Structure 1
Amino acid sequence: MKWITTLLLALVSTIVSAQNKGKITGKIVDGNSKAAIDYATVSIYQQGSEKPSGGTITDDKGNFILDRLADGQYRVVVNFIGYQSYTAGPFNIKQNTVNVGSISLQPSSKQLGAVTVTAKIPVIENKIDKMVYNAANDITSQGGVALDILKKVPQVSVDIDGNVELQGIASVRFLINGKPSTMFGSSLADVLASLPASQIKSIEVITSPGAKYDAQGLGGIINIILKDNKVRGINGNINFSAGTRMNNGSANLNVRNANFGISAFFSGNAQVNTRTLNINNRTSTDALGRSTRLVQDGYSNFKRGGYESGINFDWSLSKIDNITGSVGYDYFNNQNVGATAQSLQTSGLADVLSQRNSLSKFNAHSYDWSLDYKHKFKTDGQELEVLYNSSFGKNNSAYSQSQVYNGQANPFSASSSNNPGTDKETNISIDYTQPLSKEITFETGAKTVLQDINSTAAVIAYDPNSTVYAFDPNQSYSLKYNRKIYAGYISLGFTAFDFFDIKAGGRLEHTDTHIDFPGTVIPSYNTWVPTAVISHKINTSSTIKISYTKRVERAEYREINPFINLSDPYNITTGNPLLKPEIGNVFELGYNKSLEAGGNLYVALFSRHNSNDVKTYTNFYSEYRVGDSVYRNVSVTNRQNIGTEQNTGVSISSSVPFSKKLNLRTNTTVTDKYIVNKVYGGPSVNAVVVRANVNLTYQLSNTFVAEAFGNYNSPMKNIQGRTPMFLTYNFAIRKQFMNKKASVGFTTANPFAKYVNQLTTVTQAATTNGQTYNSYNLRRVPYQSFGLSFSWRFGKLDFKKEKESDNTVKPIDN
């Protein structure tokens, strides 16, 4: 692709032409607990000037870097809400590096009453290893759910059914507060559609994870950070929203005093009953040339709900020892009730007309608990961390269906099944960081992941001859799945030639899997995962980086569960216990530019090659046996390893403040996909896919804001036909009052169209069994909605009187 080559050369040229200049580094910590302070504002002033010449914010470890500084004298000013301002300097810069060490901020000496705390943090932040979307600052999304926020996150796309892709890859590792949870393995769409946006502080996107991270997730990692509050005092917030499609609410309470803090939250969501219209038209031909046409015209009434709750604590035992812990509980459920008119037309035979009624249900309970211990040594940056995290999920899938010929009283086919299961996962890790010098940092660690899955299915089948429902042992089954992963890693971060910042490492993972299912054996295997990120800060506002990593995608519970869903006996879905891990190699070249007034531009060129590529695949059978039952003219859909996939493309995200009132954010990804089907002998597929959205915000007044948001996904050719395009749009307004402690909002989605039409085609060429298959399915998804939301923040910040101290750092001799 010539345009990629041109841009690559331009970026490399920018690096070569950059000049070597000086920099100032340091770390910001709490003066009492010595805990790192993230998001503190660090501004730099040239000596004698009252206007800052640049600045940055601290990362999650309190570190900051001010580089690409011209020769001269500078002073550094640090600010963070609830602390006294800190001034350091002046420092003499002559193409050298000045490390100011740890700067201790002292709490403000004022006694504050009920106040509103507002941190002016950009909505989008680009860091060396991740992109951060500060959802708490996106006030018009607060009445929605996690999926509504994810649509706005750079490099992320969400389709009409809530399926998430990162740089065009659907295999994404989801974390909550940096930790895994079994709830994501059971039903990802339900979790993301049930988690209120008001509960989310930020979303981190990591497309090229370092060696410290698990290798799981081909597309990378999406880490959802829930709200907390590290400011001392008692405070919290309450949020409610009600609408024509969705209702949700959340409550948070935070209590912190001295070295101990505790927070609790509860949130819930309910999607009201909505009716989706379906038309399916399918034509098949067997090896003898006989054709069959099935037409299904019906509807399904769908609803879902869920709630989450948890308690977290943070305890600083001393200035160098800290313990954090959490306990959480989550519940999700959905239900789909449908009725379908069916017409089966077979060569030379009269049409067969029938009616199908179906019901399918799913629910999941998940318990999570964790304990994290950190110890800091005397050497700045030297740290030991031990983390224990465990999650236990109980899931249940069930269906029932019956088919009746028109004019008949009794069904000719019926069945039901109940599929309970459990999913337990335990993670134990130890990580150690050792600065070898001011410019070199060494990291190492080890981790164990233990996962156990148990699943059973009891099938009740109907005998039309005896009109009796009875347990069918030939269709029922039990499954035990045990997976152990042992991993270790090393990583080295350093500065080369005072020009490049490099972080490189390697991770070795050993996977041992045992499965108790007929005819299934999974051998153990090792995965070596190299990672590297090379970045260069061109100036105080521009950074370029190039990265490489290897990723692996191991099948989740919902993909391997062999439960056969017969709620539609003509269109059967099931899991695949034989799925092999998918391997991906990821290259990325990125350029980040900070614009004035908090704006940002990020351009990424990426290339991803996946082997053992996993795709959803549909096969057609004239006869398909399940136990001792035979189903005729059926399609069977599951996930399979089909071959290889190459994705090459560009992702562009930007936030442009045209004025103090008007802000434009855009997110566009263009991907060239090349898929090779090595299993079924189908043709290779080449397709260009576009994912784009635009978010326009206008500040009508200091307390009144309006927003418009549009989201577009282009259609895509795949290995079996074509997936549809879709276009959605939202409008929102929000008014703040009570000194910005409370707000009300109005949100609408697709107000001018009740349905979003989704036309999907599936084609299967003649295979070894001689079957051909063509179908199209039209779904009319009800997406139009109108809703109101309310939010209230409360609290009292209490800062004890501290001893007067000198808040000026003395100059360091250079």
Structure 2
Amino acid sequence: MKAIYILFLFTFFTVCVQAQVNPAAKGKISGKVTDAATKQPVDYATVSVYKQGSTSPFNGISTDPKGRFTVDNIPDGEYKVTADFLGYQRSIIEHVIVKNGASTVIGEILLAPVPHQLKGVTIVAKTPTVENRIDKMVYNPQNDLSAQGGVAIDILKKVPQITVDIDGNVELQGNSNIRFLINGKPSSIFGASLADALQSIPASQIKSIEVITSPGAKYDAAGTGGIVNIILKDSRVEGVNGSVNLSAGTRRENGSFNLNVRKGNFGVNAFFSGNAQLNSNSPNTRNRTSTDSAHNTTTLFQQGSSNFTRNGYESGLNLTWNISKHDDLTGSIGFNHFGNHGNGITNQDQRQVNALGEEISDFKSIRNSSSKFNGTSTDVSLNYKKTFEKEGQELNVLYTESFGRNTFSSFQQQDYLNADIPSSGISNNNPGKDRETNISVDYTHPVSKSFTIETGAKLDFNNINNNIITDTLQDGVFVPNANQTYGFSYHRKIYAYYLSATTSVFNNFLDIKAGLRDEYTTTKADFEGTNIPNYNILAPSLVLSHKLGNSQSIKISYTRRVQRPDYGDLNPFLNISDPHNINTGNPNLKPELGNNFELGYNKSFDKGANINIAAFYRHNTNDIQQFTTFYDSLVVNGVTYSQVSLSQRYNLGSQTREGINLYGSVPITDKLSVRSNMFFSARTSNNPGSKSVTGFSYRINMNVQYNFGHDLSAEFFGNYRSSQKDIQGTDPKFVFYNIAMRKMILNKKFSFGLTASNPFANFVGQRSTTFGSNFNQVNIRQVPIRSFGISLSYKFGKLDFKKDDRDNRDNKDDDTNNSPDTPPLEKPKDNAGSNGGGKSK
């Protein structure tokens, strides 16, 4: 059945794009753009290619730091080429001929400065929604209507190869062990609560999301699933500009303000954003049946509802100083906060019968509970970059420091209704601190035009400290419980070094990127019974890529990754907000190791269609998974709890996952475009002493966008995620869809939009099961997801460009949002007024 699914989908994609295939050879148009007055190259000028006589370009590119450009994938024909840049008059070259798939060299295009200073300029440039590169896939949400007014999670739902469940848990190619970065750098806020952090970053702050399934040796080896790097907006243009974004809705409100100031070689970027998820009520039931050693059967039925709110804000300040032609210094500081609060009432009925079905007991009770979480993070970074006269040669030194503080507290009290049993209850408070320090040095040396060596070293120190303070209910009063009050500290140091090389062989027939990273880890934890030995990990990586003409490519890759347990996995704090369902961490967890193989194919078509196929195989050992054990009675530091399901993380054997991801984008007409992403995979878990468990899952989504003209557009997005069998039950399926519209006015400086999510159903039902040798449990939640909202955005600013400073900016082409741990990004052409942002969580 799985093979039939994959064959059908592959055929479907092929049929959808077949009409756009042109087997004829494609040519190239290349040249150089130069300032007519100073004879200096014009970097990031916009070069557009028109079919002769047409008024709309069909292809284009930005010039590199040397003013050069090459536009490929050009069919034979006659064309018009234009070159534009702010502060210059447009240059037009007519009747450019491309024949027999050859390369046509225009030569030098001179741009003449405009005679007067510009008073104000708005830049409008369209970036492809999905870009495929040799080592990553990049999702650009600039034209994502349905995510307007939303948060990072709303954008991640649309990113190829990523799946998101209804609670905001993220998987990359079916693996939840992902290394999340902000602007190429780690943040302690992710270790506190990933789901909360991702629901506190406004979508308006995000420029792009990079998905790296096979990271090279230059990247940290952490994350068996790969790396997701969230790039926030900033501005590189002269002058003062910024934006204001506001949204309000029935479930969420947020707003952000961005300000960018740049004069000569110095720039400042500041931003502030805040958001709140309004109170929502979720009905839920849990039905558990268990059997004890005397063959008595106990049924615990819990029914209730819970209220939940979430809030957060982010702020940041970034400073850039281009000291000289070859020396850049970038510094940033950010402060971020998020929190959530929940409370609920649950009616409970615990009934026990013997083997003959005779009732032994029937206790009815009511439980009041609440929980609260608050987390803050202060992130500081300083980056020095030095380039050399030799193109591509550079040195990067990066220092980052992240300070996190978080507090989790919970309370619950059970009152029995039909038995002479005293009320019981517990109150917990768990404050913690997290500090992570990174120092890295990276050097890139191009030996020749086709051979480059990269090397570097990194220190990563992480310190976690927290305290667990517990009070228990005795005779109607909460008193300190010394047996459940303790501290926990965890100190980890990682020493890393890497060496990698990139080259082309056989006359550029094959591109090769190979590397080896060595990471030595030392760990100390002061919790009783904890002993984690030091270990060394070698992480090789290899990418082989071949271009099949100018419009398609194929690649194969291998990488070895490690998943070190994080704060939540390790913390031994016992969450007893529900005494029948207790959760805790495991300080003795070992790192999980993963070997990842991937085969990818990408093809672009003349009329703008694109298809990407990625098949993968992953094998993990010391697999970290949550496992639930049922106890008739459980003694926790001197207190006995009855009928308890204890959930804890363990290293459980190994896991294998194989699958395929299909992505396609087709412009049906000039106004209508369709994108779809389909993901299919099978996961097999092998646990010692148990049967292997295989579960098949899939995810299908579709995005349809229509442009009505007059700056009015609409979008529909639908997503279906199937249920999946795991080692102890099944995860729930998830259906989500939304509709959005956007209107832009005032020369596109102001826009307003309307969104509706799941408008025809107030709740989405979530049914999951959990079972073990002596129990079986069914959970049903009704999650409120229907929402309606409105969003407003205003862009402002005056841009000043001085051509006589261009030679001092010749080498500032790399996006300094990226740390030395990430390869340089291709420079996008942001809207002048929409840039903003900086470091967030």
Is this a same-fold pair by TM over 0.5?
A: yes
- 2:820 maps to none
Other structure's SS at 1:228 match: coil
- 2:17 maps to none
Contact 1:331 1:365 in 2 (8 A): yes
- 2:316 maps to 310
Q: C-alpha displacement at 1:409, in angstroms?
A: 10
Distance 1:386 1:97, change over 3 A: farther
- 1:360 maps to 371
Q: C-alpha displacement at 1:275, in angstroms?
A: 0.4
Q: C-alpha displacement at 1:20, in angstroms?
A: 12
Distance 1:506 1:75, change over 3 A: farther
The answer on 1:188 being equivalent to 2:194 is yes
Distance 1:61 1:515, change over 3 A: farther
TM-score for the superposition, normalised by structure 1: 0.89
AA partner of residue 776 (structure 2):
N
- 1:177 maps to 183
The answer on 1:265 being equivalent to 2:271 is yes
- 2:462 maps to 451
- 1:228 maps to 234
> CA offsets per residue over residues 657-714 of structure 1, 9 Å max, x none?
1111111111111111111122xx3321112110111111111123111111101100
Other structure's SS at 2:236 match: coil
- 2:651 maps to 641
> CA offsets per residue over residues 233-288 of structure 1, 9 Å max, x none?
11100001111110011110011111111110001110001001110000111122
> CA offsets per residue over residues 381-400 of structure 1, 9 Å max, x none?
10000001110000100001
- 1:514 maps to 524
The answer to which of 516-525 and 791-800 deviates more is 791-800
Q: Distance in 2 between matches of 1:26 and 1:483?
A: 52
Distance 1:801 1:581, change over 3 A: closer
Q: C-alpha displacement at 1:49, in angstroms?
A: 13
Taking the TM superposition and a 5 Å limit, the aligned residue runs for 1:422-441 are 422-441=433-452
Distance 1:262 1:623, change over 3 A: same
Higher RCO (CA-CA < 8 Å; seq separation 6+) = 2
Q: C-alpha displacement at 1:115, in angstroms?
A: 3.0
AA partner of residue 364 (structure 1):
G
The answer on 1:239 being equivalent to 2:245 is yes
> CA offsets per residue over residues 404-443 of structure 1, 9 Å max, x none?
0116899521110100000000111010000001111111
Contact 1:69 1:93 in 2 (8 A): no
Task: Give 1:751's match in structure 2, choosing from 735, 749, 759.
Answer: 759
Other structure's SS at 1:116 match: coil
Q: Distance in 2 between matches of 1:58 and 1:675?
A: 50
- 1:810 maps to none
Q: Distance in 2 between matches of 1:367 and 1:251?
A: 19
Task: Give 1:531's match in structure 2, choosing from 529, 536, 541.
Answer: 541
The answer on 1:392 being equivalent to 2:400 is no
The answer on 1:469 being equivalent to 2:478 is yes
Taking the TM superposition and a 5 Å limit, the aligned residue runs for 1:534-573 are 534-573=544-583
Contact 1:402 1:411 in 2 (8 A): no
Other structure's SS at 1:510 match: strand
AA partner of residue 531 (structure 1):
S
Taking the TM superposition and a 5 Å limit, the aligned residue runs for 1:594-609 are 594-609=604-619
Q: Distance in 1 between matches of 2:632 and 2:210?
A: 48
- 2:141 maps to 135
Task: Give 2:704's match in structure 1, choosing from 671, 686, 696.
Answer: 696
AA partner of residue 442 (structure 2):
D
Other structure's SS at 2:448 match: coil
> CA offsets per residue over residues 351-403 of structure 1, 9 Å max, x none?
10000000111110100010111001111110000001110000100001100
Contact 1:68 1:537 in 2 (8 A): no
- 1:330 maps to 336
Q: Distance in 2 between matches of 1:248 and 1:355?
A: 36
AA partner of residue 650 (structure 1):
I
> CA offsets per residue over residues 159-183 of structure 1, 9 Å max, x none?
1000011111111111111110000
Q: C-alpha displacement at 1:57, in angstroms?
A: 5.3
Distance 1:295 1:321, change over 3 A: same
Taking the TM superposition and a 5 Å limit, the aligned residue runs for 1:73-88 are none
Q: Distance in 2 between matches of 1:7 and 1:622?
A: 49
Other structure's SS at 2:484 match: coil
Distance 1:83 1:221, change over 3 A: farther
Other structure's SS at 1:154 match: coil
Q: C-alpha displacement at 1:21, in angstroms?
A: 10
The answer on 1:381 being equivalent to 2:380 is no
Contact 2:244 2:793 in 1 (8 A): yes
- 1:722 maps to 730
Other structure's SS at 2:483 match: coil
Contact 2:380 2:401 in 1 (8 A): yes
Contact 2:363 2:419 in 1 (8 A): no
- 1:656 maps to 666
Distance 1:436 1:251, change over 3 A: same
- 1:14 maps to none
Q: C-alpha displacement at 1:789, in angstroms?
A: 0.8
- 1:154 maps to 160
Q: Distance in 1 between matches of 2:777 and 2:330?
A: 54
AA partner of residue 533 (structure 1):
V
Q: Distance in 2 between matches of 1:375 and 1:607?
A: 39
AA partner of residue 478 (structure 1):
G
Q: Distance in 1 between matches of 2:24 and 2:605?
A: 20
- 1:794 maps to 796
The answer to which of 428-437 and 93-102 deviates more is 93-102
Q: Distance in 1 between matches of 2:443 and 2:383?
A: 13
Q: Distance in 2 between matches of 1:51 and 1:744?
A: 26
Q: Distance in 1 between matches of 2:77 and 2:715?
A: 44
Distance 1:83 1:426, change over 3 A: farther
Other structure's SS at 2:623 match: strand
> CA offsets per residue over residues 710-743 of structure 1, 9 Å max, x none?
0110011111111111111101111111111111
Taking the TM superposition and a 5 Å limit, the aligned residue runs for 1:498-509 are 498-509=508-519
> CA offsets per residue over residues 604-645 of structure 1, 9 Å max, x none?
111111111111211101111111101111001122211111
> CA offsets per residue over residues 460-513 of structure 1, 9 Å max, x none?
0122xx433221111111011000011111111111112111111111111111
AA partner of residue 405 (structure 1):
Y
Task: Give 2:632's match in structure 1, choosing from 622, 630, 635.
Answer: 622
Contact 2:370 2:410 in 1 (8 A): yes
Q: Point out where structure 1 has 5 or more consecutive residues left out of the alignment.
A: 12-17, 766-771, 806-814
The answer on 1:202 being equivalent to 2:211 is no
Q: Distance in 2 between matches of 1:93 and 1:683?
A: 63
Distance 1:654 1:219, change over 3 A: same
Distance 1:496 1:165, change over 3 A: same
- 2:827 maps to none
Other structure's SS at 2:199 match: helix
- 1:769 maps to none
Q: Distance in 2 between matches of 1:29 and 1:122?
A: 26
Q: Distance in 1 between matches of 2:345 and 2:746?
A: 50
Distance 1:670 1:128, change over 3 A: same
The answer to which of 78-87 and 468-477 deviates more is 78-87
Contact 1:595 1:656 in 2 (8 A): no
Q: Distance in 1 between matches of 2:107 and 2:183?
A: 28
Contact 2:149 2:204 in 1 (8 A): yes
Other structure's SS at 2:548 match: strand
Q: Distance in 1 between matches of 2:520 and 2:326?
A: 34
Q: Distance in 1 between matches of 2:322 and 2:33?
A: 17
